[in-house]
Amino acid sequence: MMHLLRQAVSVVALLLFSVSVHARAYDDVIDSGNITIFVYSDYAPYSWEEDGEQKGIDVEVAQFIAEYLEVDLNLLMRGADENIDDDLRINIWKGDLIHRRAADVMLHVPIDKEVDARNDLAVINSPYFHEEMAVVVDRNIIPNLETFGYFTSEKVGAELDTVSDFFLSNAFRGLLHPNIRRGPTFESTINLYAEEEVAAVMASRAQSEYIANRVSHRDSYVVQPPMPGIVRRDWRVGIAVKHDSRDLGYAVGDALNELIVSGKLASISEKYGVTYIEPER
């Protein structure tokens, strides 16, 4: 009997969690006087925490959105899950397993037709960044990186299980494998370059520029050599809201448009050593 009771409780708990969290419409957010915006942790130069302070381009974007809507900001900073679908599920339409806490808005969502088609409970729009892959290189070791073939003899860093890692692992039929050094986090990947364990790091262009700016003792430049076979060379970055909070998404889109048109987003990016490229909208 007790065994059956445990089973029943487990089933009820599963059913309860399968229901998505209640989405807040624009009026609900305004009436409450606060907005919860999700940003990734350990994702410099966009968002990270250092000595108890939350920093980054997306952190400042979230602050601007709250100011534009004239509400207080609750910043929800969490790590990335297995993939973007899991991130949208946890942070937008279902919430985390224990507290079921979700955000009203999720920043830094790749705008992709396939991602959009797979996630009908989330609405992805309002591009505010253009991103692309690049490499930060020490000029004293490789004066002019024209091909990834240089890394058959020189070491290159990449964050584990990222687009960079997958590309480098498969480039030149795996010939680069002996010279790839992987950092489990982006911060540890920066350290590989700072401690001169690698001649270069492959990452997004913004991350590459951030590394070049931060690791000032190396003579760095950022370059985009040919990347044959890469899954995604460039992409647009936008926001996500729950499917029944579209009006909130429109309002946030207006805030982002103001941030772009005014030049403030370019200024914010420059603070972190990043060149802002406006996306097609």
pLDDT in tens, 109-167: 999 999 989 999 999 999 999 999 999 999 999 999 999 999 999 999 999 999 999 99
- The burial of 135, by beta-carbon neighbours within 10 Å (0-12 exposed, 13-18 middle, 19 or more buried), is given as buried
Domain limits, the chain: 22-130+235-271, 132-223
Nearest CA-CA partner of 107 in 273, 215, 268, 224: 268
**Superfamily name with CATH number, domain 22-130+235-271:** Periplasmic binding protein-like II (3.40.190.10)
- pLDDT of residue 100 exceeding 80, the answer is no
Helix extents (H) in 171-263: 186-194, 205-214, 246-261
Q: Residue 183: which of 165, 169, 163 has the closest Cα?
A: 165
Q: What is the pLDDT of residues 7-37, one digit of tens each?
A: 333 433 443 444 456 668 899 999 999 999 9
Q: Which of 1-10, 99-108, 119-128, 229-238 has the lowest mean pLDDT?
A: 1-10
Do 22-130+235-271 and 132-223 share a fold? yes
Tell me the one-letter amino acid at 207. Q
At 83, list the tokens: 């993939």
Per DSSP bridges, beta strands 156-159 and 200-204 are parallel
The architecture of the domain spanning 132-223 is: 3-Layer(aba) Sandwich (3.40)
DSSP H or E run through 200:
strand 200-204
Exposed e or buried b for every residue in 37-65, given b needs 16+ CB within 10 A?
bbbbbbbbbbbbeeeeebbbbbbbbbebb
Report pLDDT digits (tens) over 43-61.
999 999 999 999 999 999 9
pLDDT at 72 over 80: yes
- Tens digit of pLDDT for each residue in 158-206? 999 999 999 999 999 999 999 999 999 999 999 999 999 999 999 999 9
